[in-house]
Amino acid sequence: MTELRALIVLLLTISLTLSCGSPSSSASGRQLKSISISQTANGGEAQFVATGTFSAPPMTVTPLPVMWGLQLYAPPPPGNLDYTLTSQPFAFNCATMGSEVGPVSAIAPSDPSAPANGSLPFSEMILASATINCP
């Protein structure tokens, strides 16, 4: 009878542990702290890749999934931002677009466990921008 009780307690403990799931990144405290943008020239294109710096290992991620844009969010507008993240580099065609364009921006949620698309307040996003230098 004692063995049966021990087995039941063990099964309940396992069941409760599994039902709670594993801790998420935000539960562990890992947060995106900053984004840096690097540029390379590829023919008549300027290509941009984002790197994220985090508060806990792995400390850097390249390419960081971000939403790319040709606008500056300064100051960030109130409300939410609808976003879709991509790990693909941002390609800017200098011949077609010209060089009289504002900066390229990369934005991503500070919580690395956030979904790849959705809507979040700007206060929960990390933003970086870089000047476009056409080759």
pLDDT tens track, the chain, 135 positions: 444 343 333 333 333 333 333 334 445 689 999 999 999 988 888 999 999 999 999 999 999 999 999 877 666 677 899 999 999 999 998 888 766 677 999 999 999 999 999 999 999 999 999 998 887
Return d(Cα 116, Cα 46) in angstroms, integer. 25
Domain extents for the chain?
A: 30-130
Q: For strand 125-130 and strand 80-84, is the pairing parallel, antiparallel, or unpaired?
A: unpaired
Map residue 45 onto helix, strand or coil.
strand
DSSP for 95-111, written as a single string? HHH-S----EEEEEESS
